[in-house]
Amino acid sequence: MKTKFYLIGILLILLTFYSEKIYCQKFSDMVALDFTETQFTFYDPMDCSQATFLFKVTNVSNHNLEIYTDLINFKNETIPTSANPQGSTLLAPNESMWCRTIFKTRLFNYDYKIKQDIKKTVIINMHDWLNQYDGDDSRLAIEKEITIKVAGGETSTLCEAPIKLTVIDELGKPVDAAVEVDGPSREIGNEGIKRYVMNTGLSGKFVGFVPVSARYHLFARKNGYMTVYKEISAAELTTGVTIQLQKKDSKELPSFTLKKTFKGDIGFWRGSVNKQGDKIFLVQGMENYYDNNLYNDGKAILFDVNTEEILWQYPVGWQSWSGDIDDAGKYAVVTSYYYGGSPGFPSTGFNNYIALLNQKTGQEIWKKDFTKDNFPVIGNVICPSRGLKLSHSGNNVFVSNDYGASYLLNSTDGSIKWEFDYWENIREIIFSDDDQYLYVSTGGGWVYKFNTADGSVIWKQWVWSWASVNGFEISKDKKYLAIGANGGGAAVMDCETGSLIYSLPEIDNGSSWIRWINTQNDLLVSGGSGLSKIYDIKGNRINTCDALGIGMDWRPLDNNLLLCNNGELFDLRDGENLGRMFHVGEDDHISHFGWYNSVKKKYVWAIMETRSRNENILEVFNVDINTGTDSKNNLQIPSSFEVFQNYPNPFNPSTTIKYSVPQAAIVKVSVYDILGREILNLVNEEKLPGNYEVKFDGANLSSGIYFYRMQAGEYMIVKKMSLIK
């Protein structure tokens, strides 16, 4: 009997020991690595400025893992890389994540004028942050060889891949055009990289050579026509590509008139605007100021767009980060952000806090320090907070800290309704319009949809890494959620189910920002190098534009125009730079945020925080935004609703539909097949008086007769069009 109890005791001790470790398994046995989508061969010059090494990691164990990659580099080499994972990622059994790095091949210092193959070994060190193993068993070292194939020069005589091009006009006739060809690098002007320009001549054809690449970008340009973009494979380029041009209408551009300038210590890092677009809340952070005397001068500022006045200022002190206002006009909320121990800051005696303010007066309603007494799930007494959001009604406040704990608070008294632990900090939060749900992106790469009432998880989806500023937005029809990740990826999800519609792994330079630009759910994605790409809702790239990545904020105007935050205007149909509408600040500083008011007649630019006193600026512009129409019709308001015959007609594969709006109205333009079934909604939003146009792409449809219908109030008309392939 004693022997039996003795054996049971030993068994219990062993079970206790092994429950603390994962049955003595190695971390390398707990994960599966998938390199089937990894690019191992890169081409100079076409890949040399943006080479992407990408692979998939899956938790194949029965335990949670917290995956962290603390080194991605090259054997016997140390070169700068970007887009490494942002923090650790918590993976449950069978869950997966992607690991990616972006590098410049020419940092290896080879002679790119000599034709050669360069071999390098990628080194990746990965481990489980939970430390569930003995010794070095918690780490995994990965080594993979890559090849850089150097073309040996950047003139056509030294290149290898044949290219066949044909360019035709809207009637199908050959035209003389210039076609620019380049590869994924896209950093034109750096390191001797250039585009290869092919002139077709009167025959509309070109046969020649370009450097070898896995894929190519083509831009066909001709005066009076829209630039046409195509992304194609090497095989398609060899077989032959036909590009059809479309005539381009002239545009009456908007005008901006500077009305008011505020100058002073108005520096900030983040801000928010209410749904009506008439109140802007800026949160100042003084951490970057060289003058230590200004560290205490941080403030939150509420600005009224309509009256062009600063309504009130609330002193926040030290480093501040996040702030928000509700649409109901009841509250403003602000949090501090401070780790402690930095030069000029106290090392002890400071607690970060959240404060709720009266939106009308700026008076403090309540204030809570981030301590363990006030917030039970907290990792450190000095706990900074960056994730913050008020519900539209103002009844709830969502707040998180950098140690992964998040809370939904009652606005009335700051009491906790529910809490959740993400394991990683968050930056961006969205409440649904009815406040029933909220969407949260975490530093570990997960996006959650919560039920606001009880905090239950409706779905979660892994994307890339946490959303950056201007990297988290719901589409205009509320069906899709887009995330532009701080680590360089982007993705679109279904709001209802959380399923991925498409994912973009190779946004350049380790950053990406997104913006829904129309009611067709086309998405603008911009990377740090200045290259921007437009995708349709199926993930097809429909255009690529240069130089839209200046700063981190753009605002779509009506009818295919987009304003960049340095004042430049672009035509989204083909990426043409239409000119500089205004200059920001006395020294032409790049602004950090800009908003229209709800009627799009006033625009506010706010200048990024600078490092010295009295150089931060708010500027208010009045905007004449009757844009995007034919110049000959733009000078007067239409007298009636009207929809015109599409042009060209017949068409292949795209055509343009123009319509007129005499008064503000909800306008819907839809396309139907021969059986009367709606196949696409082109427009469904309020339009101000003016003349408009919308493009219809039938690339995925079969030849035949289709109908398009415009409806605005009681007005409705249907017209017929023909798709011929």
638 preceded by a cis bond (ω within 30 of 0): no
What does the domain layout of the chain look like in residue ranges?
Answer: 26-150, 156-244, 266-431, 642-723
Nearest alpha-carbon partner for 691 in 628, 611, 646: 628
642-723: CATH topology: Immunoglobulin-like (2.60.40)
- Tell me yes or no: is domain 266-431 CATH 1.10.10.10: no
In whole angstroms, how far apart are CA 420 and each of 99, 231, 406, 448?
26, 43, 5, 11
Distance between CA atoms of residues 402 and 417, nearest Å: 20
Q: What is the pLDDT of residue 123?
A: 92
Strand (E) or helix (H) holding 234: helix 234-239
* Tokens of residue 67, six digits: 């995956």
3-state helix, strand, coil in the chain (%, to 5): 5, 50, 45
- Contact present, 485 and 512 (Cβ < 8 Å): yes
With 70 as the cut, is the pLDDT of residue 86 above it? no
Q: Where are the alpha helices (DSSP H) in 332-482?
A: none
Q: In angstroms, rounded to a whole number, what is the distance separating the alpha carbons of residues 295 and 286?
A: 5
Q: Please report which confidence band the pLDDT of residue 18 belongs to, taking 50, 70 and 90 as the band edges.
A: very low
pLDDT value for 663: 77
Q: Where residue 249 falls among pLDDT bands split at 50, 70, 90? A: confident
* 266-431 and 642-723, same CATH topology: no
Quote the percentage of the chain above a pLDDT of 70: 77
CATH architecture of 156-244: Sandwich (2.60)
Q: What is the pLDDT of residue 12?
A: 43
Condensed to tens digits (0 to 9), the pLDDT of residues 94-130 reads: 998 888 888 888 899 998 888 899 999 999 888 888 7
List Cα–Cα distances, 345 to 195, 341, 361, 381, in angstroms: 50, 6, 30, 16
CA distance 33 to 712: 54
Q: Is residue 166 a contact partner of residue 205, using CB atoms and an 8 Å limit?
A: yes
Question: Which DSSP symbol is given to 297?
Answer: G
Quick check: 22 pLDDT over 50?
no
Choose the most confident range, by mean pLDDT, from 511-515, 541-545, 708-712: 708-712
157's CB contacts (< 8 A; 6+ apart) are none
Encode 482-513 in three state secondary structure. EEEECCCCEEEEECCCCCEEEEECCCHHHCEE
pLDDT at residue number 7: 47
Helices (H) and strands (E) in the chain, counts: 2, 54
As a whole number, mean pLDDT of residues 285-314 equals: 75
* Residue 616 main-chain phi, psi, to 5 deg: -105, 135
Average pLDDT rounded to a whole number, residues 281-304: 70
**484 with 469: CB under 8 angstroms?**
no
Nearest to 594 by CA among 539, 550, 627, 626: 550
Q: Does the pLDDT value for residue 670 go beyond 80?
A: yes
559 pLDDT tier (thresholds 50, 70, 90) = low
Q: How far apart are alpha carbons 713 and 667 in whole angstroms?
A: 8
Q: Which residue has the higher pLDDT, 657 or 198?
A: 657
Cβ proximity of 151 and 211 under 8 Å: yes
Are 428 and 406 in contact by the 8 Å Cβ rule? The answer is no
pLDDT in tens, 600-614: 778 887 765 554 455
Q: Which token pair is 189?
A: 């002007």
Residue 672's beta-bridge partner residues?
Answer: 678, 707
- Select the more confidently predicted residue: 485 or 479: 479
The mean predicted confidence, pLDDT, of the chain is 80
The answer as to CATH 2.60.40.10 being correct for domain 26-150 is yes
Q: Which two tokens stand for residue 666?
A: 């909800």
- Residue 156 token pair: 């056509």
Q: Which H/E stretch holds residue 181?
A: strand 178-182
Residue in the block written with tokens 């899709």 = 480
Written as one letter, the residue type at 271 is G
